[in-house]
Structure 1
Amino acid sequence: MASNSWGFLSFFMVLVVTSAYPIKTKQYKPCKHLVLYFHDIIYNGMNKENATSAIVAAPQGANLTILASQFHFGNIAVFDDPITLDNNLHSKPVGRAQGMYLYDTKNTYTAWLGFSFVFNSTDYYQ
């Protein structure tokens, strides 16, 4: 009888210890792979109805409707572009890309870009 009690007590202690420290399982978080297109139409002095971006700063003496020089050095533009799921500008937008870019090198074509995406719905949340 004593060995039976000892076995039950051992089993009970193992059960208590294992339930006190649950095994951590890595929680699966679903990933989304999004392919998005944002369409940038720069204001050229004549397309104000269709323009989604405009030059707001340029080198001294430069025109604010035409990008400066070969590499556009010194230009700063802001944009509010439609985001679509394909490369067709006339597709239904799923959101907007809003931000700015500036051309920062004299002898090669480079740009610094800062923007955020604003979605129209919660379909792409998480």
Structure 2
Amino acid sequence: MARATTNLAIFSLIIFLSAAPIINSQEFSRKFSKREMGMKREKLSHLHFYFHDVLGGRNPTAVRVAQAATTSSYPYKFGEVLIIDDRLTVGPNLSSKVVGRAQGMYASADVSDAGLLMVFNFAFVEGRFNGSTLSVLGRNAVLSAAREMPIVGGSGVFRFARGYARTQTHLLDLKMGYAVEEYDVYVFHY
């Protein structure tokens, strides 16, 4: 009789558990509406500035942190990695008003051409974008007249950002280790 009672109790427990709603205490996501996130109408902004990459001199803003054993045997330094903290200015002169910094890294990622993998943030310090960032992740074919790289996100005013950065070389001085790139950035954000 005890065995039958035990079997009946187990059977009753199985029926009860199968009829009970499933409660998932391990839930790690939920859906939000745009309104809940404070997202209103999406805007398209255009930003224009100059990017100063200083590799030489006493105060470089781009420094090599790694390279492969074979890097020197490639014409475009394949395998070289640099960390940057470059000025973003309103005009092409280094003394122009600073509007932000390009902070991150780039690496020579093409065996046979001057192709860089760019991974950095534009960190803005001026105007309505002060304290906001845009994240760039993409290929920069530096010998091309004009290049495009994707904007893959951002913070602050640029939360949920997407767009692209178009750049062209304004000045290149290999002897001094100095380059100035002109940027036009088109970004959707809320």
What TM-score, normalized by structure 1, do the two folds share? Answer: 0.62
2:59 is aligned with 1:59 = no
Q: Which has the larger radius of gyration?
A: 1
Contact 1:103–1:111 (8 Å) recurs in 2: yes
Instruction: Quote the residue 1:107 is aligned against.
Output: 112
2:33 is aligned with 1:33 = no
1:1-126 map, 5 Å: 28-43=41-56, 47-49=57-59, 51-60=60-69, 69-124=74-129, 125=157
Q: Write the distance in 2 (CA, Å) between the matches of 1:122 and 1:42.
A: 28
Q: Write the distance in 2 (CA, Å) between the matches of 1:68 and 1:41.
A: 24
Shift of 1:85: 1.7
Q: Write the distance in 1 (CA, Å) between the matches of 2:127 and 2:92.
A: 22
Identity among equivalent pairs (%): 32
Contact 1:37–1:86 (8 Å) recurs in 2: yes
Shift of 1:70: 1.4
Q: Deviations over 1:12-57 (max 9, x none)?
A: xxxxxxxxxxxxxxx65443211121100114xxx232x1111111
Question: What one-letter code is carried by the residue in structure 1 that aligns with 2:61?
Answer: T
Q: Write the distance in 2 (CA, Å) between the matches of 1:96 and 1:52.
A: 10
Q: Write the distance in 1 (CA, Å) between the matches of 2:87 and 2:76.
A: 25
Task: Structure 2: give runs of 5+ residues left out of the alignment.
Answer: 1-39, 130-156, 159-190
Shift of 1:59: 2.2
| SS across alignment from 1:90 | coil
Greater strand share, structure number: 2
RMSD value over aligned CA atoms? Answer: 2.3
Contact 2:65–2:81 (8 Å) recurs in 1: yes
Contact 2:74–2:111 (8 Å) recurs in 1: no
CA distance 1:73–1:28, shift in 2 (3 Å)? same
Contact 2:64–2:81 (8 Å) recurs in 1: yes
Count of matched residue pairs: 92
Task: Structure 1: give runs of 5+ residues left out of the alignment.
Answer: 1-26
CA distance 1:90–1:68, shift in 2 (3 Å)? farther
Shift of 1:73: 0.5
